[in-house]
Amino acid sequence: MSGIVGIFSKKKYKNVFPELYSGLYAIQHRGQESMGISLLAHEKLSEIRGKGEIANNISLDNISTLAGNVGLGYVKYRFAEDDKSLMPMPWLFYPKNSNFKNLIAIDGKFLDETSPEDVVNKLNSNNIDEIIEFINNLKGAYSIILVNGNRMIAIRDPYGIKNLCVGKKEDSYIVASESCVIESIDGQLCHELKPGEIYIVDDNGEESYFAKELSNSPCIFDFVYTARPDSSINGVSVYDARIKMGEILYKEHPVDADIVVGSPDSGLISAVGFSRASNIKYERAIVRNRYINRTFILPTNSMRKKGIRIKLNPIKHLIEGKRVVLVDDSIVRGNTIKRVIEILRESGAKEVHIRIASPQVIKEETFTFDVPDKDHLISNNRSVEEVRKIIGADSLGFISLEGLRQACGNKTYYENCFNGYNPLERI
């Protein structure tokens, strides 16, 4: 998951920190474990890195210390198996055969023992054929941004699992995990990197080279949960895809009810689609405490449970005596949905029907986001009816994998957690 932003300005005395800072905020939703902003100005490094969110680390007391015409920003989503002792990215390296300090941020994982230092040393080659050969042999799901005083290099893995996009603002070139970053700082979105694309920008301009494309399979869960709705992935609007998920959900699992409610926040848009398709009234009957972060990405189960209890609050007069359809993005462990159903029942709901805008999560995942061991997945080795009984719903329906693909433009996607297509299995 995580999120990375890189900015390179050809004007040596320009400070790109304001754009980098704003752009990083635009992807805070991709990780809250730690953050980092590092900039270079004439090889002088200024940076702030720390645990927690951006606002926990950058303040009026230290904001004036950050300046540079090139820089990287990073927000970290921690996997359970990650080394907790590692300092937050970006990392600083003094590579072989280079006179420049190098900053690198990596979103993703490699299948071999390749280290960030190995990557920096390889990417500092002046021979593009050597870089292409290195990427052809680097296996995994990753996106990479490397900057120094001379150039910025951005790479999308040849499987296309991790997304990266390129934009411009005046004399600055921007690379980011999501298109919303570029638009949030008034930049112009230029293109999404293609799988295996090696995008290089320096004082002379920009150019792209290409490793061998092995697939074009962005993670489909970005559409369901991870990405901001104002982003686009693979040429498909995330917002439009979520509306279509709700419409298809109703076609696949119709129900008679009085109101449709979205589970804040990532179920809200699909709930609108469900309402439109069913002609059942949509109500914002559950309010989310905006100061509570996503319970899904809290690192421990006890923290997630505590977060759920103070995260959501019902508007009771909209729910009392009603047959409620609750639309949510996914069910992983089942903690959140069980609590939301309890909240609706406590608020007087006559019936609670659950509709989920993704298929059952039945397989663990370690490359794109942290889905736990399958023994902790509520849908593992259980039928839909068995899950329904556990969570306490009157009915339960999941969108089919075919329906989800249709909502996302009928393209090829990385679908490992749903036991769907996974190009990495061919390695």
As to burial, measured by CB atoms within 10 angstroms (0-12 exposed, 13-18 middle, 19+ buried), residue 410 is exposed
Numbered residues of the known binding site for Mg(2+): 266, 328-329
Distance between CA atoms of residues 129 and 133, nearest Å = 6
State the CB neighbour count (10 A cutoff) for residue 160: 27
State the CB neighbour count (10 A cutoff) for residue 62: 11
Report whether 398 contacts 230 (CB < 8 A). Answer: no
Three-state SS string across 119-161, please? HHHHHCCCCHHHHHHHHHHCCEEEEEEEECCCEEEEEECCCCC
Report whether 66 contacts 22 (CB < 8 A). Answer: no
Nearest alpha-carbon partner for 199 in 214, 190, 188, 210: 210
| Phi, psi for residue 192 in degrees, rounded to 5 | -85, 140
Tokens standing for 127? 């021979």
DSSP string for residues in 191-220: EEPPTTEEEEEETTEEEEEE--------BT
Contacts of 346 (CB under 8 A, 6+ apart): 314
Report whether 397 contacts 356 (CB < 8 A). Answer: yes
Numbered residues of the known binding site: 266, 328-329
Q: Work out whether the CA dihedral 372, 56, 141, 46 comes out positive or negative.
A: negative
Report whether 12 contacts 42 (CB < 8 A). Answer: yes
Report whether 376 contacts 333 (CB < 8 A). Answer: yes
Contacts of 342 (CB under 8 A, 6+ apart): 392
Contacts of 233 (CB under 8 A, 6+ apart): 163, 178, 179, 192, 218, 222, 223, 227
Contacts of 310 (CB under 8 A, 6+ apart): 289, 292
